[in-house]
Amino acid sequence: MQEKLYLNGSFFPSDEAKISVMDRGFLFGDGVYELIPVYKSKPFLLGQHLDRLRVSLDLTGINKELINFSKINDAVNELISVNQYKEHSIYIQITRGVEKIRQHIFDKCGEPTVLVMGQPYKKYSVSEIEQGFKACIQDDYRWTKANIKSTSLLANVMLKNSATKMNKYEAILIRDNKLTEGSASNVFVLSQDVIKTPKLSNKLLSGVTRNLLIELLRQNTIEVSECDISKEEVLSAQEIWCSSSTNPVVPIVTIDDISIGSGKVGKFTLDAYKIMDDYINQY
């Protein structure tokens, strides 16, 4: 059975859905998106992801009043049902829509293009988590509005692929000697027995999983500081992990072949992994 997706109010088999070449998302990357994990056929934190989608729409000036969020919510659940998704992710993309000519100035009254589709994702096993992953440090040369979850991801794509070519899981990004985030994740650092993560700004994304994890750690009486973190503090950290919607806690044991702490996955990281895994299983 061919999977279905949702496009502009209707459901289509995936190979029959069409978008105009004049769509600003195709021509300019003029759009925003969200990625929602699906656990046991249930979307995880869908409401929080839709709230962040609204924020991205506001920040880009795409008229959210023209978008029926109730239909998007229903489409997510319908796709999970008809496609029999169990451990998948749901991708929602909204662009500014189609215009008659290609031009930088956009028509503020244009009808947005709304796409919802799903795909499987790789969930790391406990043994993989316990082994840990490698990362590298790269200069953060992305644009300075990384707080918008924009479809304009060329810099992120280049950074992630550069890390992959070096057999690294993630690129840890540094701007002005300060940690921002990973190419596709938020980053947590254990330094001087305190868990730290960069404070929110226009230079990094307010991750839904990041924010939940901070809340859960604090509920478990584990201190978390949202603050500036220097490159030197990253490299001298006791523990590091990356966090994203589909992989909430991914331990980093080396950066540029330099061992982080003991070079093995640490207690705080494993505690964070268990706290999040328990929450997901009970969700």
Q: Specify the pairing of strand 133-139 against strand 170-175.
A: parallel
| Tokens (6 digits) for 156 | 């992120």
CA distance 142 to 126: 33
Closest CA to 168 of 138, 196, 135, 190: 135
Contact 201, 226 (CB under 8 A): no
CA distance 25 to 15: 19
Catalytic entry in 42, 64, 108, 149: 149
H or E element in which residue 217 lies: helix 208-219
Closest CA to 137 of 270, 252, 262, 261: 252
For 213, phi then psi, to 5°, come to: -65, -40
64 is catalytic: no
CA distance 104 to 27: 10
Q: Which amino acid, 185?
A: S
Among all residues, which ones are annotated catalytic?
Answer: 149
